[in-house]
């Protein structure tokens, strides 16, 4: 099935963000370190109008370390941008963000002002609100495993100079690259009600067999080579209680098991895009 998810509140948030950019000095874009390309909003360049951008490779603790480092090096080569990583084992501080924002503002020759504005943007469920709460050292934004928790903008003072504007997670009207759309759904960016979980799990199974077969063997305790998604789903059903009467796989339950394992890191550190992709 073709995936598309752009509810009304995202359209409204996009229009609000365009207006907010008039007072914005620096943009902070939160990316999923496992899929930096698929999790970057292609509309952002037009909305930002050349504003300097701090890109955060978030959830780095769930991604392959070497791959994340390569992505950081590549993204740091772009003019007017800087790239940082954030994860449970390498948590960014407020000082890290302000230092990066001040450096970019200086490099880009922004006019000196008494107050500056940093806008935080990202797709749904990329960990934007969790990062914001950690930076502020208090709960400012709702968090959860469901996408689209934040529905409106909020303005927060970071220090004597910088304000931060938090914005809702946004996708874009048409997900033209369906491979990227399936990656987004696989990692929980798109609500389950907008997709068929069985299709997403099938996609994940094929990707994992190709890239991370040893991780599958370790997690689901099988020694033989799995040749296709159907075999993997049947095996997961047998070993994780996903069978229904007659010994057939309950595909919905099996899909939930596999997707939860992918999203939570139970299969290890996974990266689904390489800098050369």
- At 162, which CATH number? 3.40.50.300
Domain end position, chosen among 149, 166, 183: 166
Q: Are 71 and 146 in the same domain?
A: yes
- Please indicate, yes or no, whether residues 121 and 203 belong to a single structural domain of this protein: no
Please list, in sequence order, all residues whose beta carbon lies within 8 angstroms of the beta carbon of residue 215, skipping any fewer than 6 positions away.
208, 267, 268, 270
Q: How many residues does the chain have?
A: 277
Last residue of a domain, one of 119, 150, 166: 166
Q: Which two tokens stand for residue 163?
A: 């304000």
Structure tokens belonging to residue 93: 């501080």
Residues 134 and 254 in one domain: no
Nearest-angstrom CA–CA distance, 39 and 30: 8
Counted domains in the chain: 2
CA distance 19 to 17: 5
Residue 88 lies in a domain: yes
Q: Indicate whether 137 and 242 sit together in one domain.
A: no
- Based on the domain organization, do 102 and 19 belong to the same domain? yes
Domain-embedded: residue 271 = no
Query: Model pTM?
Result: 0.91
Q: Is residue 275 part of a domain?
A: no
Residue 253 lies in a domain: yes
Q: Are residues 114 and 249 in the same domain?
A: no
Residue 269 lies in a domain: no
Tell me what pLDDT residue 79 has. 86
CATH value at residue 236 = 1.10.1580.10
- State the pLDDT at residue 246: 74
**Residue 9: its pLDDT value, please?**
86
Contacts of 77 (CB under 8 A, 6+ apart): none
How far apart are alpha carbons 118 and 101 in whole angstroms? Answer: 8
* Together in a domain, 209 and 94: no
My answer on whether 130 and 227 are in the same domain is: no
Task: Note the pLDDT of residue 145.
Answer: 54
Q: Check whether residue 75 and residue 208 sit in a common domain.
A: no
| pLDDT at res. 143 | 46
149 and 201, same domain (yes or no)? no
- Asked if residue 187 is part of any domain, the answer here is no
Residues 77 and 152 in one domain: yes
Integer Cα distance of 124 and 26 in angstroms: 20
Q: What is the pLDDT of residue 146?
A: 53
pLDDT at 185: 97
> Where are the extended beta strands (E) located within the chain?
26-32, 53-58, 81-85, 116-122, 154-157, 162-166
Q: Is residue 109 part of a domain?
A: yes
The residue ranges of the chain whose pLDDT is under 70 are 137-152, 242, 277
Residue 73 forms part of a structural domain: yes
**DSSP codes of every residue in 198-223:** HHHHHHHHHHHHHH-HHHHHHHHT--
**What would the pLDDT profile of 106-165 be if each residue is shown by its tens digit?**
999 998 889 999 999 999 999 988 888 887 765 454 444 555 455 567 888 889 999 999
201 and 252 housed in the same domain: yes
Q: In this structure, are strands 116-122 and 162-166 parallel, antiparallel, or unpaired?
A: parallel
The pLDDT value recorded for residue 148 is 47
Nearest to 32 by CA among 102, 85, 110: 85
- What is the spatial distance between Cα 210 and Cα 30, in angstroms, rounded to a whole number? 27
Q: What domain range is 241 assigned to?
A: 196-264
Q: Please state at what angle helix 128-136 crosses helix 94-107, rounded to 10 degrees.
A: 100
């Amino acid at each position: 099935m073709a995936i598309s998810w752009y509810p009304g509140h995202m359209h409204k948030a996009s229009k609000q963000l365009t207006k907010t950019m008039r007072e914005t000095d620096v943009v902070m874009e939160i990316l999923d370190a496992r899929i930096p390309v698929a999790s970057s909003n292609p509309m952002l360049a037009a909305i930002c109008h050349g504003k300097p951008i701090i890109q955060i490779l978030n959830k780095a603790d769930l991604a392959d370390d070497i791959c994340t480092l390569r992505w950081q090096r590549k993204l740091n080569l772009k003019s007017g941008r800087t790239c940082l990583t954030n994860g449970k084992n390498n948590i960014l501080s407020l000082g890290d963000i302000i230092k990066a924002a001040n450096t970019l503002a200086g490099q880009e020759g922004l006019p000196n002002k008494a107050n500056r504005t940093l806008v935080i943007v990202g797709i749904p469920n990329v960990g934007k609100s969790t990062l914001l709460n950690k930076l502020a050292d208090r709960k400012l934004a709702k968090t959860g495993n469901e996408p689209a928790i934040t529905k409106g903008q909020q303005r927060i003072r970071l220090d004597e100079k910088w304000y931060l504007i938090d914005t809702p997670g946004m996708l874009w009207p048409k997900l033209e690259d369906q491979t990227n759309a399936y990656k987004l759904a696989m990692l929980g960016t798109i609500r389950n009600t907008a997709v068929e979980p069985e299709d997403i799990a099938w996609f994940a199974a094929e990707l994992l067999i190709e890239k991370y077969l040893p991780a599958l063997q370790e997690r689901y305790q099988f020694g033989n080579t799995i040749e296709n998604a159907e075999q993997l789903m049947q095996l997961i059903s047998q070993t994780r209680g996903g069978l229904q009467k007659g010994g057939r796989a309950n595909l919905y339950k099996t899909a939930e098991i596999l997707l939860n394992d992918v999203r939570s890191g139970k299969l290890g550190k996974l990266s689904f895009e390489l800098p050369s992709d």
